[in-house]
Amino acid sequence: MASHFIVLTLTLTTILFLAPSAFSQSAPAPGPAGPINLTDILVKGGQYTLLLRLLNETQVLIQLNNQLNNSNQGMTLLAPTDNAFNNLPAGTLNNLNNENKVKLALLHVLPKYYSMEDFTTVSNPVQTQAGGNKGSLGLNFTAGPGNQVNVSSGVVETRISNPLRQQFPFAVYSIDKVLLFASEAPAPESSSTKPDGKAAKAPSSPAADGGDSPSTNGGGRTMDLGVGLVGSIVMFCMAIL
Ligand SMILES: *[C@@H]1O[C@H](CO)[C@@H](O)[C@H](O)[C@H]1NC(C)=O
Ligand SMILES: *[C@@H]1O[C@H](CO)[C@@H](O)[C@H](O)[C@H]1NC(C)=O
Ligand SMILES: *[C@@H]1O[C@H](CO)[C@@H](O)[C@H](O)[C@H]1NC(C)=O
Ligand SMILES: *[C@@H]1O[C@H](CO)[C@@H](O)[C@H](O)[C@H]1NC(C)=O
Ligand SMILES: *[C@@H]1O[C@H](CO)[C@@H](O)[C@H](O)[C@H]1NC(C)=O
């Protein structure tokens, strides 16, 4: 326990010291040996309990770990904080069926490693893992003054803030808002093609909630998220029409 705490403290200290230079330099140090532990990165980040729960519940976590191990392009995760999830309109997550929950999770995953600097020159829209055979659910990245980079799903725009990790093959950036998508209203499927979300068949077991997090237990908080997405989507669609 104590050593765990020390490691955590050292890690945080290291991050604090390295973060500023990480923005200007591309690759800091050689990566640690062995497989990258996504759960560990998010747990140590300290404010990604709800993201972890979503990734775990949708089994996207397993998918990502496998992919990370097998990809030579690397991968990037945009990690909404607990605050981001808590600020969603009530019921947002709860109103998504499992397939759309998977899609929501995958919208935050880019099947390629991007440094912060890469984002300033990337050509939009950037493909996410959420794109099924219907075409892409892409994200737009725009560089602002300084080294600021914003990401937009078309519905939600937010600033990309500190990297939890920025080292090939895996980058994780914290974001203050959950990126919502517009094209998939939680309506019954009328189109002929089924999205190919491989993890979509995941049995949704309520017991899967909670898990590692000591602070929040049970599915209570997840249950509280939900309802507003429909509204956002409707409003977004009306804005388009
Ligand atoms: C990954 O990290 C988590 C949290 O630190 C830990 O519980 C888990 O055992 C680790 N998994 C592997 C494969 O090392
Ligand atoms: C990663 O992939 C290698 C082969 O490419 C395999 O031997 C290894 O067991 C995999 N590790 C994990 C954690 O999946
Ligand atoms: C980035 O997004 C924030 C809102 O999160 C907004 O205030 C800011 O103007 C945006 N910056 C750019 C360069 O678009
Ligand atoms: C990205 O930008 C393009 C061009 O400005 C626009 O047509 C598209 O709708 C935007 N997509 C998102 C997800 O914001
Ligand atoms: C993920 O779910 C499993 C059960 O499916 C549970 O044992 C595990 O603790 C959960 N992990 C996290 C990080 O929530």
Amino acid at position 147, single letter: N
The CA-based angle 155-157-27, given to 5 degrees, is 130
Q: Which residues line ligand 1 (CB under 6 A)?
A: 37, 39-40, 43
Amino acid at position 154, single letter: G
| Residue whose structure tokens are 């200290």 | 13
The ligand minimizing its distance to the Cα of 8 is 1
Query: pLDDT of 101-121, one tens digit each?
Result: 999 999 999 999 999 999 999
Q: Count other Cβ atoms within 10 Å, centred on residue 40.
A: 11
Residue 141 pLDDT greater than 60, yes or no = yes
Which of 28-32, 174-178, 181-185 is predicted with the least confidence, judged by mean pLDDT?
28-32
Residue 2 pLDDT greater than 50, yes or no = yes
CA–CA separation, 149 vs 145, rounded Å?
Answer: 9
**Number of helices (H) and strands (E), helices first, in the chain?**
9, 6
39 closest CA partner among 164, 196, 167: 164
Q: Which residues line ligand 5 (CB under 6 A)?
A: 39, 52-53, 56, 208, 211-212
CA–CA separation, 35 vs 69, rounded Å?
Answer: 7
Of all residues in the chain, what percent carry a pLDDT higher than 90?
Answer: 46
Taking residues 70-88, report their average pLDDT: 94
The ligand minimizing its distance to the Cα of 35 is 2
Question: pLDDT grade, residue 220 (50/70/90)?
Answer: very low
